[in-house]
Amino acid sequence: MIDKTAATLADALGPVRDGATVLIGGFGTAGVPEELIDALRQQGARELTLVNNNAGNGDTGLAALLASGAVRKMVCSFPRTADSWVFDDLYRRGRIELELVPQGTLAERLRAAGAGIGAFFCPTGYGTPLAEGKETRLIAGRGHVLELPLHGDLALVKAERGDRWGNLTYRKAARNFGPVMAAAARHTVATVHELAELGGIDPEHVVTPGLYVDRVVRIDRVATRAGGFRQERAA
Residues at the interface with other proteins (CB under 8 A): 27-31, 53, 77-81, 87-88, 91-92, 98, 100-108, 110-111, 122-130, 143, 170-180, 207, 224, 226, 228-230, 233-235
For residues 12 and 187, what is the distance between their CA atoms, to the nearest angstrom?
Answer: 10
Query: Least separation, in Å, of the C-beta of 89 and other proteins?
Result: 10
End-to-end CA distance of the chain: 54
Among residues 7 and 93, whose Cβ is nearest to other proteins?
A: 93
Query: Least separation, in Å, of the C-beta of 80 and other proteins?
Result: 4
Among residues 16 and 147, whose Cβ is nearest to other proteins?
A: 147
Q: Which of 106, 103, 108, 64 is nearest to 84 (CA)?
A: 64
Among residues 19 and 104, whose Cβ is nearest to other proteins?
A: 104
Query: Least separation, in Å, of the C-beta of 18 and other proteins?
Result: 26
Query: Least separation, in Å, of the C-beta of 13 and other proteins?
Result: 23
Among residues 31 and 210, whose Cβ is nearest to other proteins?
A: 31
Strands lying side by side in the sheet with 194-195: 168-169, 161-162, 194-195
